[in-house]
Amino acid sequence: MAAVLAIAPASTGLHAYAVAVSAGGDRTCVLISNGNVDCYGFDIYGAGTDYLGGDATGVATGWYHTCILKSSGDAECYGGDTWGESDDYTGGDAVAVAAGYQYSCVLRSNGTTDCWGKNNGALGSSGVGQADDYLLGNATALSAGFYHSCVLRMDGTVACSGSNGWGQAMDDLAGTAVAVSAGGYHTCVVRTNGDVDCWGRNDFGQSAAYLGGDAVAVAAGGVHTCALLNDGAVSCWGRNIDGEADGRTAPLNAATAVSAGHRHTCSIEPLGSVDCQGYDWYRQSKDWSRLRSPVDEDGDAVPDDLEAYMCIIEDPDDPLDGSCRWGGPWDYTPYEP
């Protein structure tokens, strides 16, 4: 569900900074400039485990699993594996990775996709599964939603497959799309004119169009949608029970990237920190600071006695301020009517 536009911060200083963020199902993962990935929030099956390989170039958070794109062109996944969604990809030609509800996909350098995991399309299927491979060789981007997936093609059209009970897996043949994001039960694209069009479920207005003409990226979440604007502002619409659709203003609160999860939204700030808002029971909406990393840009470890000062977002006196909060509501099914 995560649509990410990653721009390096203007000033990096000494510490690692965020280059991409993925807000998934009650979990957030931050790709750091040192090639590691920091995850926090709901940690069932180990899906919230940090990746410390130092070679990550992309990250995608699904519902019970997480996938890392590596500089080798492989993808490493971990977490829940009921349907094989956490199998690794070892083809060496992956250029992007996406994680949906119990399935995973990579975009390959030849414009095709390779997907694995749950593939039944769910109720109201369009006739093909969400984890079917796309083999026409003209895909330039991909996005995975709950039970449907979409690819952006070279000619500006969008091809989708999987569950289509709300029309979310309908193809877009206008030829003017420059970005695509598959959300819960809806899909959105950015047009060449800077508008955003969405289709699919719309009970909270999540599929409403954005007609401002200045959108550069879009992120379709569980039941809300956010657009990153060319001045760094973030405009959101749809369900806003927990502040997930509050958005951001520019220039004071400008962003360089946005990602919409199941019930929360995260943005990268110009200096490489991450600001999140929305549902926070599992602390998936806590902010990530570029001072939080215990490793400098040159790889030198920060002395242990400074770690408490580095973790400025976390409260050492709060036992719940960790990567997981055990207890509370355990109904983790994607939003249904």
pLDDT at site 252: 87
- Which string of DSSP letters, residue by residue, matches 45-98? GGTTPPB-SS-EEEEEE-SSEEEEEETTS-EEEEE--TTSTT--B-SS-EEEEE
- For the chain, 337 residues long, give each residue's pLDDT as a single digit of tens: 543 333 334 334 446 899 999 999 999 999 999 999 999 999 989 999 999 999 999 999 999 999 999 999 999 999 999 999 999 999 999 999 999 999 999 999 999 999 999 998 654 445 589 999 999 999 999 999 999 999 999 999 999 999 999 999 999 999 999 999 999 999 999 999 999 999 999 999 999 999 999 999 999 999 999 999 999 999 999 999 999 999 999 998 899 999 999 999 999 999 899 999 999 999 999 999 854 443 333 443 333 332 322 222 333 344 333 332 222 222 333 333 3
Total residues found in the chain within this entry: 337
> What distances in angstroms separate CA 46 from CA 64, 65, 78, 81, 116, one per listed residue?
8, 8, 7, 11, 19
3-state SS, residue 265 = strand
pLDDT at site 316: 36
Q: Are 96 and 107 in contact (CB under 8 A)?
A: yes
pLDDT at site 295: 37
Euclidean distance between CA atoms 100 and 120, whole angstroms: 13
pLDDT at site 128: 81
**Which amino acid is located at 99 in the chain?**
A
Domains present along the chain, CATH in parentheses: 18-310 (2.130.10.30)
Euclidean distance between CA atoms 36 and 142, whole angstroms: 23
pLDDT at site 1: 56
pLDDT at site 120: 81
pTM of this prediction? 0.84
